[in-house]
Amino acid sequence: MTMSTTPLTPEIVSQDGNAMVLSMGPQHPSTHGVLQLLLEIDSENVVKAEPEIGYLHTGIEKTAEGLFWTQAQTVIERMDYLAPSSNALCYALGVEKLLGITDQIPERAQTIRVLHMEMTRIASHLVWLGTHGIDLGAISVFFYCFDLRENILDLQEATGGARMHPNYVRVGGLNGDLPDGVLAQLDALIEKFPGRMRELRGLLQANPIFQDRTIDVGVLSPEDALGWNVTGPSLRASGIAYDVRKAFPYCGYETYEFDVPTRTEGDAYARFLVRLDEMEQAMRIVEQARRRLDRPGPVMIDDPKVAAPPKETIALSMEALIHHFKLMSEGFRVPPGDVYQAIESPRGELGFYIVSNGENRPYRVRTRPPSMYNLQALKGIAPGNLIADLVVMIGSLDPVFGEVDR
Amino acid sequence: MPSTQIPPITGAAIDPPSLRPPIGDAVIERIDPQALRARLEALKADGFTMLLDLGAVDYLTRKPRFDVVYHLLKLPARAASVSEVGTPVRMRILCGVDDGQALPSVMDLWTSADWAEREVYDLFGIVFEGHADLRRIQMPYDWEGHPLRKDYPMRGPERERSPRPAFANKSNVVAGTPPSGRTLAALQEQVKRVRAQDDKTP
């Protein structure tokens, strides 16, 4: 067993021949965050790539152990900062399973959760597409993407009160119903989306420069993808149609009609196509969810032990006041047990292994971070490629470092 | 401040998986460290192509102290459509391991175990024998201690904090309201001490 204290051991530094060691990042703009790559290169070719992570380690799992079940959701939401609601939803679903209230979540809450998740997926893929374009020199794509993303963030702000981390999904349902006017905004977005997608496809899909840079770059065979534990669009681009929404449905995904786009090439271009198709499928789900939203209904579980009673009732009912006080001052308790809950986040299978010891705080929250495992596959696909193609491969794996490092 | 306390350890924490009502999220199996490697090899041969995740839980007072948790997924390597994937089997292997006890690495079975084992080693201090490159992954290389252990303080290791002289003179301490409850004289004494130390060090 070797335990080197520094990543650059003397053997690596002092090797002879044409090979040399190059450190790329952690401030390199194309690494999508704080990723350092230790590259062993032979002229322009990558012989070995060793990603160094941990620059953004914030100890979220440790912090969560000291917070109430609801408070922990606030820090957990900050892991995947491009798709914050997916973290919150996965955690909430896990806690709900431990509480045994999964089947009591109101239907409207589930619909809005699905709506929110798919919008998050589109927003997250838009950031990926924009930055992936910039990496390859296609600057204008970025502006198209961020314009559309801004519409989605406006909706998030309207529902949750914050653009980036709405903290809208809660254990037991949602933090309030959709406010007036949001549905009109949503309709406008649904109307705008297809045209904007056509533009985005037109900018890149048949673009010969883009194709030259991405086709046959970073090929991931199905066996390698499984071995490296790659999930999400990257796995589906390698020909395996594994989607948690279909395999282990949650929030009523089994009642929505949508396809799981797959490709068999497994290269960066296939991953690009899969994500683009996925955005269109996500919008299909959004449209279906939108139609279900015309019916009003509760959005929070009717259980004062988990959900605070409506604020207005505090002045009228002693019980409401007591429940409110108890929930705010010491939170709720979760029966002892452990659970693994997974959802399909924009990056792949996001999982939470939650252990409760019956207290009002999580005993342990272990995340299965899709970004981390997807990024790890870089070690497998980078060797043999050009340095210039590294940014394509990083971009096509779509890591988010808040989640890789947590 | 409740949020800085170490979460209380109660009897219920000893083995939560055995206490809970069946949720049915996976097939759960508890296994000894000696039998772990052979069992995982058999599962891999049985078609569990993915080691979805590898984590650990520290139960502090329990014997053995840690649980290392393997999440496996039985996903066929050729499954081009959703119906072919179906609902793959999830499996959860819990392996109790004591402080200082090593576990066999499964990096050769699933390449993805590389970073996962490094992370468990980094944050819990559980050593995986046979891992090619077992070094810290999240924390800095010269870090001491393993932060996700329950006896590791929530706010990090205790560090001697040097008071900032300039700040102390300017703050409301001078105005007569020491927030720490210490008197101005005591603080000035401390400042003097620190300055004397600073002078001594080149």
Tell if the CB–CB gap between A241 and B77 is shorter than 8 Å. no
Tell if the CB–CB gap between B16 and A356 is shorter than 8 Å. yes
B27 interaction partners in chain A (CB closer than 8 Å): none
Out of B132, B134, B147, closest to residue A62 by CB: B147
Out of A226, A229, A351, closest to residue B77 by CB: A226
pLDDT of residue A398: 87
Both tokens assigned to A37: 């790559």
Tell if the CB–CB gap between B82 and A373 is shorter than 8 Å. no
For B80-96, b/e burial (b = at least 16 CB within 10 A) is: bebeebeebebbbbbbb
Q: Alpha-carbon distance A310 to A374, whole Å?
A: 42
What top-level class would CATH report for the domain A60-298+333-405? mainly alpha
Q: Number of A:B CB contacts under 8 A?
A: 179
For residue A24, the cross-strand partners are A37
* ipTM, two decimals: 0.85
Helix (H) or strand (E) holding A96: helix A84-99
Tell if the CB–CB gap between B79 and A242 is shorter than 8 Å. yes
Half-sphere exposure of residue A303, counting CA atoms within 13 Å on the CB side?
A: 16
Please give, rounded to a whole number of angstroms, the shortest distance from the CA of A308 to a CA of chain B: 21
CB contact A337 to B (< 8 Å): yes
Please give, rounded to a whole number of angstroms, the shortest distance from the CA of A262 to a CA of chain B: 7
- Closest alpha carbon to A63 in A51, A50, A72: A72
- Reported as a single tens digit per residue, the pLDDT across B139-157 is 888 888 888 888 877 766 6
- With contact defined as beta carbons under 8 Å apart, do B97 and B68 qualify? yes
Out of B3, B16, B82, closest to residue A260 by CB: B82
Q: Alpha-carbon distance A321 to B41, whole Å?
A: 56
pLDDT of residue A390: 87
| Contacts (Cβ under 8 Å, ≥6 apart) of B57 | A355, A363, A364, A366, B66, B67, B69
A222 interaction partners in chain B (CB closer than 8 Å): 77-78
Out of B4, B25, B92, closest to residue A66 by CB: B4
A66 interaction partners in chain B (CB closer than 8 Å): 2-7, 154
- Reported as a single tens digit per residue, the pLDDT across A145-184 is 999 999 999 988 888 888 888 888 989 888 888 888 888 9
Please state, for a pLDDT cut of 90, what percent of chain B lies above it. 11
Please give, rounded to a whole number of angstroms, the shortest distance from the CA of B169 to a CA of chain A: 33
CB contact A192 to B (< 8 Å): no
Domain boundaries, chain B: 23-158, 165-200
Both tokens assigned to B96: 């109790």
pLDDT of residue B6: 44
- Taking chain A, what is the end-to-end CA distance rounded to the nearest angstrom? 27
Please give, rounded to a whole number of angstroms, the shortest distance from the CA of B25 to a CA of chain A: 6
Domain boundaries, chain A: 10-52, 60-298+333-405
Q: Are strands B50-58 and B27-31 parallel, antiparallel or unpaired?
A: unpaired
Out of A7, A340, A358, closest to residue B25 by CB: A340
pLDDT of residue B99: 87
Residue B178 has pLDDT above 60, yes or no: no
Please give, rounded to a whole number of angstroms, the shortest distance from the CA of A139 to a CA of chain B: 33
Q: Which of residues 115-144 of B touch A (CB under 8 A)?
A: 115, 123, 127, 129-142
**Closest-CA residue of chain A to B114:** A376
- Closest alpha carbon to A73 in A387, A331, A379: A331
- Kindly report whether the peptide bond that precedes residue B33 is cis, defined as omega within 30 degrees of 0: no
pLDDT of residue A92: 93
Tell if the CB–CB gap between A2 and B154 is shorter than 8 Å. no
**Closest-CA residue of chain B to A372:** B115
B142 interaction partners in chain A (CB closer than 8 Å): 5
Q: B29: how many CB neighbours lie within 10 A of its CB?
A: 14
∠ CA A310-A312-A318, rounded to 5°? 85
Tell if the CB–CB gap between B75 and A226 is shorter than 8 Å. yes
- Give B50-90 as a DSSP string: EEEEEEEEE-TTSSS-EEEEEEEE---S---SHHHH-SPPE
pLDDT of residue A278: 92
pLDDT of residue A309: 82
* Architecture of the B23-158 domain: 2-Layer Sandwich (3.30)
Regions of chain A where pLDDT drops below 70: 1-18, 29-31
- Reported as a single tens digit per residue, the pLDDT across B67-123 is 899 999 888 878 878 788 888 888 889 888 988 888 999 988 898 898 999 999 999
Tell if the CB–CB gap between B138 and A227 is shorter than 8 Å. no
- Reported as a single tens digit per residue, the pLDDT across A99-142 is 888 888 899 999 999 999 999 999 999 999 998 888 888 888 88
CB contact B82 to A (< 8 Å): yes
- Reported as a single tens digit per residue, the pLDDT across B158-176 is 543 444 444 444 444 444 4
Out of A2, A355, A372, closest to residue B133 by CB: A2
Both tokens assigned to B23: 């949720």
The owner of tokens 């965050």 is: A33
Please give, rounded to a whole number of angstroms, the shortest distance from the CA of B189 to a CA of chain A: 36
* Mutation target vs B (from A99, A240, A345, A350; most B CBs, 10 A cutoff): A240
Please state, for a pLDDT cut of 70, what percent of chain B lies above it. 72
Helix (H) or strand (E) holding A227: helix A222-227
Tell if the CB–CB gap between A336 and B20 is shorter than 8 Å. yes
